[in-house]
Amino acid sequence: MHWAPAHAETATRKREYPMTHAPEVTGFYEARTGSVQYVVADPATKNCAIIDPVLDYDEKSGATATIEADRILNFVAGRGYAVQWILDTHPHADHFSAADYLKRKTGAPTAIGEKVVEVQKLWKEFYNWPDFPADGSQWDRLFAEGETFRVGDIPARVMFSPGHTLASISYVIGDAAFVHDTLFMPDSGTARADFPGGDAHVLWRSIQAILALPDETRVFTGHDYCQGGREPRWESTVAEQKAHNIHMAQYRSEAEFVAAREARDRTLPMPKLILHALQVNTNAGRLPEPESNGRRYLKIPLDLLQAPWD
């Protein structure tokens, strides 16, 4: 299997996307959770968006840190960029979002898809939070399907991509699609669909919409788990995904895909941080408020999720 290196650019893409619509994309790999964070910039205006930033968390000690977010801020400052947006693709189940921290540092607005309210309603009940506002008000903007915005002068639009979660969206910014956990690199397949609110049938349809983008569209994933011990990678193209993705190239019908996806999901343990992360990420990356002793506490519901143990 071969897919283009990150710097590759074809003549076809130049014809399909004017160079003014090709953002500069820089990925920041966070090895603890296999997450990829992005700075997406318009080279002409020096405006940028930060996508899926990670707030460091060590579940063994309970310690939090801003190592990854500060790395991004230092990069942005070094390039002379102005942060225009702080974007999450969905409420993550395997890391904390640094959206709130970055908003406080930069003043940029936070945004996510409007279906986040459905995830909030689910987890509000799971955490027994009767007073939690499940209305999306924790973000500055909730994007609707097909809604458009800009990063500098580069046009951007929102595609709903549910299936992995109820709220998952993809951001298509110029010639670049940020598809979170819907697709992985071609050698790693597709996202699981067994989280609360997930659905393999819906995931198949979301993937079909992504693969209907122009073949030369650059595809950026939200995670990479270094298949076979290779180095981390996070960029491919729609054409490469269609030709080489180990799930999409093999399972040609929705029924085949769903059967394989659901069988695989039944073997997977839950992410080790799902119960930690969702109480932070359904609140736009805000940590719990300090209690009377000045300490913050996470709340872990016992026996809520059933899955194989690892």
Torsion sign across C-alpha atoms 157, 143, 120, 110: positive
> What's phi and psi for 56, nearest 5 deg?
-65, 140
Average pLDDT over residues 276-293: 98
Under a CB-based contact definition with an 8 Å cutoff, are residues 174 and 21 in contact?
yes
- pLDDT higher than 50, residue 5: no
Under a CB-based contact definition with an 8 Å cutoff, are residues 80 and 43 in contact?
no
- pLDDT higher than 70, residue 7: no
pLDDT confidence of residue 18: 58
Q: If pLDDT is split at 50, 70 and 90, which confidence band does 146 have?
A: very high
Distance in angstroms (rounded) separating the CA atoms of residues 112 and 115: 8
pLDDT confidence of residue 90: 97
Predicted TM-score of the model (pTM)? 0.93
Average pLDDT over residues 126-139: 98
Distance in angstroms (rounded) separating the CA atoms of residues 75 and 29: 14
pLDDT confidence of residue 176: 98
Q: Which residues pair with 207 in a beta bridge?
A: none
Average pLDDT over residues 128-153: 98
CATH superfamily of 24-281: Ribonuclease Z/Hydroxyacylglutathione hydrolase-like (3.60.15.10)
The order of strands in the sheet holding 63-65 is 63-65, 54-58, 96-97
Q: If pLDDT is split at 50, 70 and 90, which confidence band does 20 have?
A: low
* pLDDT tens track for 212-268: 999 999 999 999 999 999 999 999 999 999 999 999 999 999 999 999 999 999 999
> What's phi and psi for 40, nearest 5 deg?
-115, 115
* pLDDT tens track for 52-87: 999 999 999 999 999 999 999 999 999 999 999 999
pLDDT confidence of residue 9: 33
Residues 6+ apart with CB under 8 A from 118: 166, 167, 197
Taking the chain, what is the end-to-end CA distance rounded to the nearest angstrom?
30
Q: Are strands 218-220 and 235-237 parallel, antiparallel or unpaired?
A: antiparallel
As a whole number, the mean pLDDT across the chain is 94
